[in-house]
């Protein structure tokens, strides 16, 4: 393990730092998105305990990567994610975990747009003024691809092997593995990550382990 000051922490947002998903009407978001792009079948994405609508909405974004309609699909889903922020909930230990890593370079890579991520964190008292946030965007493949993590490491000026990704799902693990980044899971359910994955009991413990 490297010393704490040699590391950077890269966080997933949804259900790692803040729970937006549980309060987002992804059923309506999915229907609006499919009205634009059509129903997509056989989308190869990691399994999770997400609702079928959430999984399908995120799968649509993966399936239409590179499609000129991608931004319209993303915008249709974003409306519902943004509307959920006032009802969203911080994950247990968010404030304490964030304070514990204040001296370490940190960033967020998420499947929601940057605007949603910043608004959600600000809503829960996390200042995002100087924080690097990479959300979903048309010119970048979403997790489980490595694009977001690699972009963050380039902005931080570090090798991905000198970073630790903290996330809750196999989408985050897949991105970390693809980027060559260490990973610590904080799964909402054990089945969200494959057996043998390094995990922590909560966000605070994950930060402590990453900095050990």
Whole-Å CA distances, 84 to 87, 147, 206: 5, 26, 26
pLDDT tens sequence across 62-117: 888 889 999 999 999 999 999 999 999 999 999 999 999 999 999 999 999 999 99
Please report, for the chain, the start and end positions of each structural domain, with discontinuous segments joined by +: 4-19+89-211, 21-86
Quick one: pLDDT at residue 4? Answer: 41
pLDDT average, residue stretch 166-176: 95
Q: Which of 23-32, 47-56, 100-109 has the lowest mean pLDDT?
A: 47-56
CB of 176 within 8 A of CB of 153? no
Quick one: pLDDT at residue 42? Answer: 62
Quick one: pLDDT at residue 65? Answer: 85
| Interatomic CA distance for residues 147 and 132, integer angstroms | 14
Quick one: pLDDT at residue 38? Answer: 86
Give the CA radius of gyration of the chain. Answer: 16
| Interatomic CA distance for residues 53 and 32, integer angstroms | 12
Q: How many CB atoms lie within 10 A of CB 96?
A: 12
Looking at per-residue pLDDT, the higher value among 120 and 43 belongs to: 120
| Interatomic CA distance for residues 140 and 156, integer angstroms | 18
Strands 89-90 vs 18-19: parallel, antiparallel or unpaired? antiparallel
What are the backbone dihedrals phi and psi of residue 182, each rounded to the nearest 5 degrees, phi first?
A: -60, 155
Q: What is the mean pLDDT of the chain?
A: 92
CB neighbour class for 52 (10 Å; exposed up to 12, middle 13-18, buried from 19): exposed
| Interatomic CA distance for residues 198 and 113, integer angstroms | 27
Percent of the chain with pLDDT over 90: 77
CATH superfamily of domain region 4-19+89-211? HAD superfamily/HAD-like (3.40.50.1000)
Q: Answer yes or no: is pLDDT of 1 > 50.
A: no
pLDDT tens sequence across 143-156: 989 999 999 999 99
Q: Answer yes or no: is pLDDT of 194 > 80.
A: yes
- The whole-angstrom distance between residue 196's C-alpha and the CA centroid of its chain comes to 21
pLDDT average, residue stretch 127-141: 94
């Amino acid at each position: 393990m490297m010393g704490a000051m040699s590391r950077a922490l890269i966080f997933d947002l949804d259900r790692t730092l803040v729970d937006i998903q549980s309060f987002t009407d992804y059923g309506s978001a999915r229907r609006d998105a499919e009205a634009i792009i059509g129903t997509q079948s056989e989308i190869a994405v990691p399994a999770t305990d997400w609702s079928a609508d959430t999984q399908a909405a995120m799968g649509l974004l993966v399936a239409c990567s590179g499609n000129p309609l991608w931004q319209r699909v993303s915008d249709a889903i974003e409306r519902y994610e943004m509307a959920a922020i006032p009802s969203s909930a911080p994950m247990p230990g968010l404030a304490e975990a964030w304070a514990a890593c204040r001296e370490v370079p940190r960033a967020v890579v998420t499947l929601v747009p940057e605007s949603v991520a910043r608004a959600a964190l600000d809503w829960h008292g996390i200042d995002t003024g100087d924080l690097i946030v990479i959300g979903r965007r048309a010119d970048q493949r979403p997790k489980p691809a490595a694009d977001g993590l690699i972009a963050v490491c380039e902005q931080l000026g570090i090798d991905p092997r000198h970073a630790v990704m903290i996330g809750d799902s196999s989408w985050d693990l897949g991105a970390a593995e693809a980027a060559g980044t260490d990973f610590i899971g904080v799964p909402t359910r054990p089945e969200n990550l494959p057996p043998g994955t390094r995990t922590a009991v909560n966000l605070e413990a994950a930060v402590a382990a990453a900095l050990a």
